[in-house]
Amino acid sequence: MDLVRENIGRMSEHGLAGQETFIRAAFASLDEGIPSADFASASCRLPVSNSAGPIDLAIAVGDLLCKHVLEDERYASWIGTTPQGADGRSTAFHPLQIDLYNGLSGCSLFLGYLAKVTGNGSYERMAKKVVALIKRHLNRGRAGGAPFSCLGAFSGLGGLIYALTHLAVLWSDASLIDDAQTLAAHVSPFSG
């Protein structure tokens, strides 16, 4: 327990706020009902006015993503909550998966285009770290013989291929096209 107290004592305000957010989300995920609206700390709310335009809103989302990212020198990811169960009234608390709709591919695509529109290189840096993590997941899956189970546009191979090809063009990165082609090879031909 002393070690825990010592580690907590060394955390910055930002680190403590992040830990509080994780704890609140974890407790909310245990609730059998819909989590209360205030389970997320104020630091997770978008700081925008009613008169904010679309680019301002996108920047607010990008800043929030960058504020709550879990990153090291090479990779970046986030912890998310996902509705669970038949009625969706409980939630699961877990690292984002590689999906386009509610996962890493979507975050990287959003941040990549946000960097292009705003000229803010921190968004591109973060998007590239996310892509590095996606590639790591894909390589581990291939090495372990894990099949790609879904073609879906938002939560399967289609979404990954879409994100990688868009980012390849956006960043002039031919290696991402190669990755997308490797994934496309796993798509079974339509047999009608």
H/E segment holding residue 175: helix 174-184
Residues 6+ apart with CB under 8 A from 82: 91, 92, 94, 102
Nearest CA-CA partner of 104 in 95, 113, 114: 95
Residue 141's φ and ψ, nearest 5 degrees, are -65, -45
Quick: pLDDT tens for 116-150. 999 999 999 999 999 999 999 988 876 666 656 67
- Look over the chain and give the mean of its residue pLDDT values, rounded to a whole number: 82
Query: How high is the pLDDT of residue 75?
Result: 97
Choice among 8-17, 41-50, 93-102, 124-133 with the minimum mean pLDDT: 41-50
Nearest CA-CA partner of 132 in 101, 80, 102, 171: 171
Choice among 16-25, 38-47, 123-132 with the minimum mean pLDDT: 38-47
β-strands 76-77, 79-84 pairing: unpaired
